[in-house]
Structure 1
Amino acid sequence: MTWSMTRATTWVRWAAITLVAALLLAGGGAAVYVQRSFAQLDGRLAVAGLRADVLVRRDGADLTHIQAQTPQDAWFALGYVHAQERTWQLEFQRRVMHGELSEVFGAATLETDKLMRALDIMGSARRQYAGLPLHTRQALQSYSQGIRAFHQNLPQALPPEFHLLGVQPGGATGSVWEPEDCVGWTLMMALDLGGNWGQEFARLALARTLDTDRLWQLMPPYPGEQPAASADLAALYRQWGVYRRSPATDPSTSTSAATGPQAAAPARQDPWLGHANDLNAGLLAWAEALTRNAGSNEGRGSNNWALAGTRTVSGRPLLANDPHLGLAAPAIWYFAALQAPAGQASDGTPIAPLAAVGATLPGLPFVVLGRTDHVAWGFTNTSPDVQDLYLEQINPADPTQYRTPEGWAPFTVRTETIRVKGAADTVLRLRSTRHGPVLSDVQKSHAEVLDLDKYLIALRWSALDADNQSVMAGLQTNQARTVDELFQAMSPYHSPMQNVVAADDQGRIRFQAMGRVPLRDPANDIRGVAPAPGWQARYDWTGWLPAAQTPRDDGAKGWVATANQRVTAPDYPHYLTQDWVLPYRYQRIEQLIEAREKHDIASMQAMQHDVTSLATRRLLPSLRQARSPHPLAAPVQALLANFDAVMDADQAAPLVFAAWADELTRGLIEPRIGQARFAATYGKRDYRAALEGILERNDGWWCQPMSCAEQSSAALTRALERLQTAYGPDPAQWRWGIAHPALSEHQPFGNVPALARFFNVRVASHGDSYTVNVGQYNPGQTRGPFVNRHAASLRAVYDLADLEQSRFIYQTGQSGLVFSPRYRDMSAAWAATGYRPLQRRPAHWAHRLTLVPAAP
């Protein structure tokens, strides 16, 4: 597949861009503005703050190569380039983590701002920054100076987001990016990847209506394991009286008459691909999703694997990585190469040469995932339990105090002021306990469940600790030359814990989980899976797992692989978590590795694009046995007869399966836990394991008042009604890819119909939540329940026989500037089987820009 779009597609895109530019900018200056908004890619630019000239070249793959004479100038130039290409992305990220969205968007984002302020993301970032070594702080300073230098003398027009929203970079203070913001962004990544407090609160809420055994059926432990908690959670919470008594907010009292086993699904307007009506509605939906999903890493995963030379055609290792993250436009990644000779910090600390290429994160000054000239590495999420919720008992005689093992103690209280566009400032009184921030002060869901006159919920989260030095580890990896050096460079890494797979050109491969994991008291019978009583010392953390004892595999079997499955052996002596991702992707990777004696780059790429769903295969017999009176049942069953669980975008059967599984989950679970609780959890919690267990046990309690077979048949009828309404009367014309497009959504214009078609990037996609080529969707959403919103945010394959043969791709384009032809030019290749070269020494250059120091 070629990297460029076809002429017809290009013409349509440019016609659309011209139209939107005219509408947005309303005047004859639109064309001039569009041209002025592009980043300068050639020529010379004078930039204040540089020590010497820096060469910035783009190769034919649109990979940005930065060649500097000092490491400091390389980091500075990366900041400048990030600002050139991703100005609005940096502004939006800064506002999210500072809790300053409402200054621009008004009350729609107030709950998000409240959560960020309560977590004190930036307060923690400043404390962590202060504890970094000088040479690390100076690297962050150089990067931040590059961003600020771009804004001090803008070489291009600001992108339309700033003009449409009336926003100035940096907001009221004009501070566009500070070194502490780099640390803050690592905390935001930890929040996205390293959280499970949502799981804990869900168990607390569900234990109100389910006994503990039923709770474990609904949220089962990892296959083959027993529940980590031996305590009877439901009995404990009833005994303590933690729940709110008001029946108006009791989820068990609210049941939908339209979602019972016999009922058809309610009519929905454009149920699969509907859009919000306006910017405020779209922002509100986005902000609610962010606050609702914070503290949940369920279903969020990635793949990586490395093969030793004994399993490759070349006799040298191969490594593959595809991290699965929420899709966005622009993408979360920006691919770049950094090159600089050895240098030193101002205190004389030596800095090794830089020679790294791969995926950078706008907001950070290093290659996060990639390779040097000798070693390659990739991450997946380990997802240990590093967040514990604590029920803090309020002193009934003095509500300024909470109960501790030593008696009553005062809350720590601070005040935060949030500017709200179009409204008065919001002043927050935020409390914290010995465990951490009180989430109940900002989480609406807590007020709906808990008796807040008696109890609050506080969060203990390792990432907020002052000794978090993950950013230093990231910088050091860019100088590694061997597997051993890479893991030594990562020794300061803290949060979120990652399954690091690495390979070098000497033939070594290794997997090791890197990061901080708490140890818990043997007497802790809740084990962090649900909120624990904060006044009992046995539920406090007792220390940290020694780095030498984290899971590790040196590839004795000829390969290592992780896909967020349990990475510990059955006899592993330490508890990490019970909330591993279901092992279907790992099992499929293992099948594909063992299917060939020797692998090459082509077979590695084919594995990354595999869309056989072992989870679908497990439930498919139940669907085939379903009997429905619907007139489309016979032709649909004929389609299913030849369906081999390959979730192909061009086929109808995957759509039938997904709709049936959705309707069956609703029919079995919603009546048992209530509409409100189901709506609050479905899609955010993965109920597939529960569904498998119910059907395989033929569980009459969950299936009542029907048999499980009757429930399955009724779900098929409801699914066919929905599909016929949405896609017409001919099942042969239905397509999974139409209902399941990969949607990279712009923030905030992705929910504005007049703008979404230009700012979003949408392409039909394969896969489901359990395929190696993942296509995760949220069936709990009324707006696009099967839309693929969480997938491979990049794919990379590294050949250690010749690292210049390495490949990459991601789902949008390098530019974050909507008018640029480089905004979405990778999307078609990403959705199909395309890759681009990931080289440090390409044969030719497409663009050449020199950054020169500005005259004082």
Structure 2
Amino acid sequence: MGISRTTRWIGRGAVALVAVVLLAGAAAALYVLRSFPALDGRMQTPGLTQPVQVRRDGADVTHIEAATPFDAWFAMGYVHAQERTWQLEFNRRLMHGELSELFGPAALDTDRLMRTLDIAGAARRQYAGLPPFAREALQAYSRGIASFHQHRAQALPPEFLLLGARPGGAQGTPWSPEDSVGWALMMALDLGGNWGTEFARLSLVRTLPTDRLWQLMPPYPGEAPATSVDLQALYRELGVYRTPAGPVAAAHGQGAQPPLPVPWAHDLAAQAGDPGGRGSNNWVVAGRRTASGKPLLANDPHLGLGAPALWYFARLKAPAGVAGDGSAVAGMDVVGATLPGLPFVVLGRTARAAWGFTNTAPDVQDLYLEQIDPADPKRYRTPDGWATFAEREETIRVKGQPDVRHRVRATRHGPVLSDAQPALHGGVIDLDRHVLALRWSALDDDNQTVLAGLLANQARSVAELFTAFAHYHSPMQSVVAADVHGAIGFKAMGRVPVRGAGNDLRGVAPAPGWDARYDWQGWLPLADTPQDDGAAHGWLATANQRITPPGYPHFITADWSLPYRQNRIAGRLEATPRHDMASLRALQQDTVSLAALQLLPHLVAAPTDHALAAQARALLQGWDGDMRADRAAPLIFAAWADELARGLVAPRIGAERFAALYGRRDFRAGIEGMLQRGDGWWCQPLTCPQQAGAAFNRALDRLAALHGSDPARWRWGAAHPALSVHRPFGNVPALARWFDVRVPSPGDAYTVNVGQYNPAEKHDPFASRHAPSLRAVYDLGDPEQSLFIYQTGQSGLVFSPRYRDMAGAWSQGGMRPLQLQPARYAHRLVLTP
């Protein structure tokens, strides 16, 4: 009886457990379904003035058609909230410096940086300076986001539930009009920063003679360094450096430069310098060089990969309207890539014109050494004597800990970065004598970049596009454009500071802030920024290389990207007499690394007696530098180049300083020069060939340990996946497999089809984290044949099949139609007042 009774209880318990599991499963399934957005039917949406059609086509592009421009912008906000609610919340917290409230002390450095830069304050000032219709556009967009949350039938995505967050945080405001301006500033920070490069030079010349600095970080090919100043002597004379290095230096590295504050916070890599491939490609081909007789245009901006993606593709259509002040607002019919957080198409086409961006990367950030008054630490030195720091205190809420009080100081140049960035405390600068302040053009009150974006969506020709982009401020972009009438053009759009003739540092390294000759002297007139009509070659292309022609009289920057991508693009454009959509798509997929071919002879000739060397050399024999995912040679080369950099550079600058710098830059140009010269100083105590051989041996050992002892089975794509990381769950191994998007990928930092990796990463050092964030090809002979793709999917909801449904096609070169008039719509939704 006891056994029978026990059996019955076990049976009942099992039934109860099954019931609980089934109920939990049903509840989870119901939650998943409720988290999906409504894509069909009708929804009441308070805030609209008239109904809006929201239709998704077969390519999953969202088409918004409204009776007024303001209703269209409202609906864009509503749709972004439907699809990218968590992304908007994370980005809002990021730029306001409120991440620590959710993530605790790990996010404090990021929050301190955002509060010090005062992104939110700059956005408020810039918003106030916009014309009325632009302010109303941003207001309409933020009302659309608010309306979604106020009347939300859709369950919040799991990020909110797992983190205990709510949209809008403590203030309950999920998005404001000023936040849209702030997000444009964050893009400028991502693309327009070079303060890390300046600080790296300051740090390196602490122990590295200035001439050796320029060997490690050479000027643009064929040019002399932008400054002839002996930087090491200058900074020693000024007494800049802290000695001896204290315990903070050991923690952060004596040569540390501004860190990426949190790996999942944002791609703030711009502040840390350019490792060689960061940027984008665009090119436009005139009708005389195309099969159709009309222009073709291609664009693939290279940005940090994330899941969800940075972009959301949409069409906005509305007739002309009237703003609240009575001013006329032009109509629009535009399709392309929007940024969640902004109401307009950033990159795309109208019915008659198309455009593409690459980052010009002018030097719009200067670091200034501000000397502290020995008698009063609240004052700093200026050309006119001592002045008082502007100060304010910020309160940062930290999860699980007391609030943190953060003092923010500013000088006449701008915010004091050394109050926010731990690396600047890290034993490099004597902060009792000097601090570092930042002058950054994007923070200026007259920044009207969002106005340029709104106006571009109304353009019908190249001329109208360039008129719209005349309002573009930061970050400066190299714009190519084409229209159905046959016009093409290139113009660098944005602000570039003018540095006086006496400024012998030219912004390449921190300048004495009390010396007036280092102050900016105004702005380069728009008429004087680089431009071209394409008449000479019948095509125009930019790939972050030097865009100024010979004899150009104005200084823009000394830190252009190496011209490998540009040279490859130019060679292939010239090699084909008549281009079509297929040839432009093929060029976007090109994975031949001219940079690899530059170093390859040193690898092939490297002396080695490694057991795997013969097999590895056989795989390298006749290799054409094509970084294909299905080959072993690219992996062998990449591992060797990594080991070579470690062997040549780390002993000369110190392991800690190398660890702080490497990965954000690969020192490729410097290493090329060392091997070409057979430079004994850098290669000591071995010869340069011996260093190449030792690096080869280390690389083969490493690859065998990771991928097995048969080199023929090694594959670049297996070691080099394109990794789109979720913020924040890409940092949580148990969740990353669900939230991250990973696909095999080709390329390296120097191929047209970029696959830039950070070899300093402990995990997945060859994973591509910076790649074509989208690809688009526009046919101005038949604009409806235009195509696009990006690396994840339209939905930002992890349970949705649309979260990653573009990834495979993106990695394999597939594309989707980008049409104003699609043949069918997969979903139809009507938003009603």
Q: Deviations over 1:12-46 (max 9, x none)?
A: xxxxxxxxxx9999553000001111111000110
- Provide structure 1 residue ranges, at least 5 long, that are not aligned to the other structure: 1-21, 257-281
Provide the residue aligned with 2:413 in structure 1: 435
Q: Quote the residue 2:756 is aligned against.
A: 776
Task: For residue 569 of structure 2, give the secondary structure of its aligned residue in structure 1.
Answer: helix
Q: Render the CA deviation track for 1:189-245: whole Å, top value 9, x for unaligned.
A: 000000100000000000101111000111111111111112110100011110110
Cα-to-partner distance string for 1:156-188 (whole Å, 9 max, x where unaligned): 100000000000110001010000000000000
Q: Deviation digits for residues 37-64 of structure 1, max 9, x if unmatched?
A: 1111000110010000000000000000
1:566-592 C-alpha deviation (Å, 9 max, x unpaired)? 000120000000100000000000011
Report the counterpart of residue 805 of structure 1 in structure 2. Answer: 785
* Structure 2 match to 1:539: 518
Worse overlay, 683-692 or 659-668: 683-692
Kindly state the Cα deviation for residue 286 of structure 1 after the two structures are TM-superposed: 3.5
Q: Deviations over 1:376-423 (max 9, x none)?
A: 000000000000000000000100000000010000001100000000
Compared CA separation, residues 103 and 503, structure 1 to 2 (3 A)? same
1-structure distance, mates of 2:252, 2:479: 45
Q: Measure, in 1, the Cα distance between the counterparts of 2:461 and 2:252.
A: 59
The aligned counterpart of 2:333 is 355
Deviation at 1:595, TM superposition (A): 1.2
Match of 1:491 in 2: 470
User: Which residue, out of 165, 169, 172, partners 2:163?
Assistant: 165
Query: What pairs up with 1:234-383 in 2 under 5 angstroms?
Result: 234-248=232-246, 285-287=263-265, 294=271, 296-298=273-275, 299-383=277-361
Of the candidates 592, 597, 602, which is equivalent to residue 622 of structure 1? Answer: 602
Among 642, 660, 668, the residue aligned to 1:688:
668
| 1:444 matches 2:422 | yes
Does residue 387 of the first structure (1) align with residue 385 of the second (2)? no
How far apart, CA to CA, are the structure 2 residues paired with 1:25 and 1:143?
40
Distance 2:35 2:503 in 1: 58
Contact 1:251/1:675 (8 A) holds in 2: no
Q: Distance in 1 between matches of 2:212 and 2:272?
A: 23
Q: Which residue of 2 aligns with 1:587?
A: 567
| Conserved 8 A contact 1:195-1:297 | no
Q: Aligned to 1:336, what secondary structure does the other structure show?
A: strand
Tell me if structure 2 keeps the 8 A contact 1:251–1:673: no
2:353–2:484 Cα contact (<8 Å) kept: yes
2-structure distance, mates of 1:437, 1:40: 45
Structure-to-structure mapping, 1:220-235, within 5 angstroms = 220-235=218-233
Distance across 2 between alignment mates of 1:719 and 1:805: 46
Shift of 1:833: 1.6
1:526 partnered with 2:505: yes
- 84, 87, 97: which one pairs with 1:86? 84
Alpha-carbon distance between aligned partners in 2 of 1:27 and 1:456, rounded to the nearest angstrom: 57
The 10-residue stretch of structure 1 (621-630 or 540-549) with the greater mean CA deviation from structure 2: 621-630
Alignment of 1:829-844 (within 5 A): 829-844=809-824
Alignment of 1:36-55 (within 5 A): 36-55=34-53
What SS is found at the alignment partner of 1:245?
coil
Is 1:502 the counterpart of 2:500? The answer is: no
Contact kept, 8 Å, 1:192 with 1:296, in 2: the verdict is no
Secondary structure of the residue aligned to 1:481 is: coil
Q: 2:140 aligns with which of 142, 145, 149?
A: 142
Give the letter aligned to residue 537 of structure 1: A
1:830-854 Cα deviation digits (max 9, x unpaired): 000200000000011100000001x
What is the alpha-carbon distance in structure 2 between the residues aligned to residue 476 and residue 601 of structure 1?
Answer: 28
Q: How many residues align?
A: 806
After superposition, where does 1:699-778 map in structure 2 within 5 Å? 699-778=679-758
Q: State the AA in 2 paired with 1:515.
A: G
Match of 2:98 in 1: 100
Amino acid paired to 2:832: V
CA shift at 1:626, angstroms? 1.0
Post-superposition Cα deviations, 1:78-110, rounded to whole Å, max 9, x if no partner, equal 000000000000000000000000001111101
Q: Which residue of 1 aligns with 2:586?
A: 606
Query: 1:526 is matched by which residue type in structure 2?
Result: L
Aligned to 2:3: none
* Match among 635, 639, 644 for residue 655 of structure 1: 635
Cα deviation, residue 686, structure 1: 3.5
- Which residue identity does 1:542 align to in structure 2? Q
Q: 1:291 to 1:422 in 2, by over 3 A?
A: farther
1:436-464: per-residue Cα shift (whole Å, max 9, x none)? 00000011111111000000000000000
- Give, in whole Å, the separation in 2 of the partners of 1:529 and 1:598: 42
Task: State the distance in 2 between where 1:509 and 1:833 align.
Answer: 26
Q: 8 Å contact 1:255–1:671 — kept in the other structure?
A: no
Shift of 1:751: 1.8
Give the whole-Å Cα distance in 1 for the aligned partners of 2:263 and 2:168: 25
- 1:746 & 1:429 partners in 2: Cα distance? 31
- The percent of aligned pairs where both chains have the same amino acid is 67
Task: Tell me, in whole angstroms, the C-alpha distance in 1 between the residues paired with 2:30 and 2:252.
Answer: 57
Corresponding position: 1:675 with 2:655: yes
Distance in 1 (CA, whole Å) between partners of 2:626 and 2:823 is 39
* Distance (whole Å) between structure 1 residues aligned to residue 204 and residue 701 of structure 2: 31
Equivalent-residue separation in structure 2 for 1:616 and 1:24 (angstroms): 56
Letter in 2 for 1:473: A
| Gap change, CA 1:284 and 1:465, over 3 Å in 2 | closer
Contact 2:194-2:270 within 8 A present in 1 as well:
no
Following the alignment from structure 1 to structure 2, what is the Cα–Cα distance between the partners of residues 704 and 304? Answer: 42
What's the offset of the Cα at 1:284?
Answer: 5.0
Deviating above 2 A after TM superposition, structure 1's stretches of 4 or more consecutive aligned residues are 22-28, 247-256, 282-287, 289-299
Shift in Å at residue 294 of structure 1?
A: 3.1
Aligned-partner residue type, residue 31 of structure 1: A
Q: What residue in structure 2 maps to residue 3 of structure 1?
A: none
Amino acid at match of 1:814: Q
Q: Distance in 1 between matches of 2:23 and 2:808?
A: 29
- Secondary structure, aligned partner of 2:133: helix
Structure 2 residue runs of 5 or longer lacking an equivalent are 1-19, 255-259
Letter aligned with residue 57 of structure 1:
R
Q: Using the alignment, how far apart are the partners of 1:532 and 1:390 within structure 2?
A: 5
CA–CA separation in structure 2 for the residues paired with 1:539 and 1:743: 42
Q: What is the CA–CA distance in structure 2 between the aligned matches of 1:295 and 1:211, rounded to whole Å? A: 22
Secondary structure of 1:745's partner?
Answer: strand
Q: Which residue of 1 aligns with 2:111?
A: 113
Paired AA for residue 749 in structure 1: F
Shift of 1:685: 2.2
Aligned partners of 2:212 and 2:499: how far apart in 1?
Answer: 26
Letter in 1 for 2:178: E
Q: Quick one: which of 133, 137, 142 aligns to 2:131?
A: 133
Distance in 1 between the 2:172 and 2:262 partners?
26
- Structure 2 counterpart SS, 1:65: strand
User: Do residues 851 (structure 1) and 831 (structure 2) align?
Assistant: yes
Kept in 1, the 8 Å contact 2:264–2:726? The answer is no
RMSD: 1.8
CA contact (8 A) 2:193 2:270 kept: no
Range 444-453 or range 786-795, more displaced: 444-453
